Amino acid sequence: MKKDQKSENDTDLVYQLDDKPATGEALYAGFQHVLASFVGIITPTLIIGGVLGLGEHIPYLISMALIVSGVGTFIQARRIGPVGAGMICVQGTSFAFLGSILAGGLLMKANGSTPEQMLAMIFGVCFVGAFIEILISQCLTKLKRIITPMVTGIVVTTIGVSLIKVGMTDLAGGVNASNLGSWQNLLVGGVVLSMVILLNRSSHLIIRLSAILIGITAGYLLAYNMGMVNLGQAFNQPLFSVPVPFKFGFDFDWAIFLPIAIIYTITAIESAGDITANCLVTKQPVEGQGYLKRLKAGILGDGVNSMLAAIFNTFPNTTFSQNNSVIQLTGIASRFVGYYIALILVVLGLFPIVGSILMTIPKPVIGGATLVMFGTVTAAGIKIIAREDLDRRNLMIMAVSFGMGLGVMMVPEVVSDMPKILQSIFISPVTTSGLVAIFMTLAMPKHDSGDIKDQQSSGIDHSLAQKKA
């Protein structure tokens, strides 16, 4: 039943969580959610496909990314048994896994693996890794001592920093491009970057949410007029994409698995934050047994959806945070809108021509958009860290974790003499910084004497300041 119209407060809801909007309203709200998440769903696939040279497989992989995102969104909204938060938790390909997937793929490529062998390995380790997130969903509260906000913030920041190089390389023309850094590439990438920045300053939320999509569209048109787009093979695709379980086979390697396993742990914690934010905007409790049950079901849904992603040949899924803003914008919190979002994404994914056309987007266009997206990931990590008390202990954890993680990224030769399995783990800056942060969190007591003295000194200084005032 329709509720009273929204008041001046944008967070008031026209439709509550279990209300059923009319088809037209639900479909319109669903399109807005797709608009906000579409680029995020397809971009990781475009980047992985480009860097690893997956060529003709990219359109199919994009189709599978869209279909699995649709199915995953439906599962979260419908809540099948214990799986799913029962809210609009739009699922999409996670950027967090990019670094580890690329590192593992490039290692295989250097050893002579074919694209099919790389994909079999990537999807194999991602399938097994999904069970880690499934397990974490059932014992989330017991991991608070290990996966603290400080650890999460360090890992998220390192993910963003490590991916910025990928975004900047694409903006300049792409890996091994003959015209890397040409004025044409920089112009197109700069236009996309500028448009995203300008549109993000808009007072209209829907324009801000669509900034990256609009920027990519404008950049694509500019690149087309400059002769940088080749549509020759774009329409040479089969009519439908048929999901085939493990189409490329199944393989597994512990050396490639371990870094991915760590990212699954971190994304579970990130998803907990996104689901909590969703509870807030949909007027649901954020404490108590009901909240914990929803949280566990939502993270379990993320794990199950990532398992489905691996089975159906795409990369791990996660809950997208930007869609919470769409709920605030429309005032429609009804989980039934998730059904329409799922339908739109699946329909888009069934037609491989969509992926084929997206594959023609020039690298500078992708780079101009992803540079902002990866920078946003970095900023999100810093924001998480900033909420913590930056005492001597936390500053030391940050210093050593960033030093080790980013140090490995800048000087990868430092691990060249390690055994192969250790190389594959520590060559990833995200894995290195995450492991160091976890180790130091456990090894350094939270309230050692130095921290207590710092806190006492800070308290005295604060008291003196108040007296002077």
| Per-residue pLDDT band at 66 (split at 50, 70, 90) | very high
Mean pLDDT of 196-212: 81
Residues present in the chain in total: 469
| Per-residue pLDDT band at 12 (split at 50, 70, 90) | low
- Contact yes or no for 427/439 (Cβ under 8 A): no
* DSSP sequence for 210-273: THHHHHHHHHHHHHHHTT----TTTT-S-S-PPP-TTTT-----HHHHHHHHHHHHHHHHHHHH
Cα separation, 259 vs 17, in Å, equals: 37
Cα separation, 148 vs 437, in Å, equals: 10
Cα separation, 395 vs 385, in Å, equals: 10
Cα separation, 461 vs 469, in Å, equals: 12
Amino acid at 422: L
Mean pLDDT of 126-152: 84
Mean pLDDT of 312-335: 84
Mean pLDDT of 345-363: 86
- Contact yes or no for 423/111 (Cβ under 8 A): no
Half-sphere exposure at residue 385, Cβ-oriented, CA atoms within 13 angstroms? 24
Mean pLDDT of 322-339: 82
Alpha carbon of 179 to those of 184, 188, 218, 294: distances in Å? 9, 13, 22, 51
Whether this model's pTM surpasses 0.95: no
| Per-residue pLDDT band at 99 (split at 50, 70, 90) | confident
- Secondary structure of residue 133 in the 3-state scheme: helix
DSSP 140: G
- Contact yes or no for 160/380 (Cβ under 8 A): yes
Mean pLDDT of 44-58: 90
Cα separation, 357 vs 148, in Å, equals: 42
- Secondary structure of residue 319 in the 3-state scheme: strand
Of residues 192 and 378, more confidently modeled:
192
CA dihedral 133, 39, 343, 96 (to 10 degrees): 0
- Secondary structure of residue 320 in the 3-state scheme: coil
Residue the block writes with tokens 């993270």: 299
* Residue 303 in tokens: 């794990």
Of residues 146 and 241, more confidently modeled:
241
pLDDT in tens, 217-245: 999 999 999 989 888 776 777 778 889 99
Mean pLDDT of 9-30: 80
Q: What pLDDT sits at residue 468?
A: 44
User: Which residues touch 440 (CB under 8 Å, ≥6 apart)?
Assistant: 396, 397, 400, 401
Mean pLDDT of 358-373: 85
In terms of Cα–Cα distance, which of 394, 143, 138 is closest to 262? 143
DSSP 97: G
* Residue 389 in tokens: 């008390």
List residues bridging with 319 in a β-sheet: 91
- Secondary structure of residue 20 in the 3-state scheme: coil
List residues bridging with 93 in a β-sheet: 317
Helix, strand, coil shares, percent, the chain, to 5: 70, 0, 30
DSSP 57: G
Cα separation, 297 vs 82, in Å, equals: 6
Of residues 7 and 296, more confidently modeled:
296
Q: Where are the beta strands (DSSP E) in 273-407?
A: 317-319
Per cent of the chain over pLDDT 70 is 91
Q: Where are the beta strands (DSSP E) in 46-173?
A: 91-93
Of residues 48 and 146, more confidently modeled:
48
**Looking at the predicted structure, is the pLDDT value of residue 4 above 70?**
no
- Contact yes or no for 148/387 (Cβ under 8 A): no
Mean pLDDT of 109-135: 94
pLDDT in tens, 256-273: 898 899 889 878 877 887
Q: What pLDDT sits at residue 244?
A: 92
Q: What is the pairing mode between strands 91-93 and 317-319?
A: antiparallel
Residue the block writes with tokens 């800056």: 429
DSSP 107: H
Q: What pLDDT sits at residue 447?
A: 67
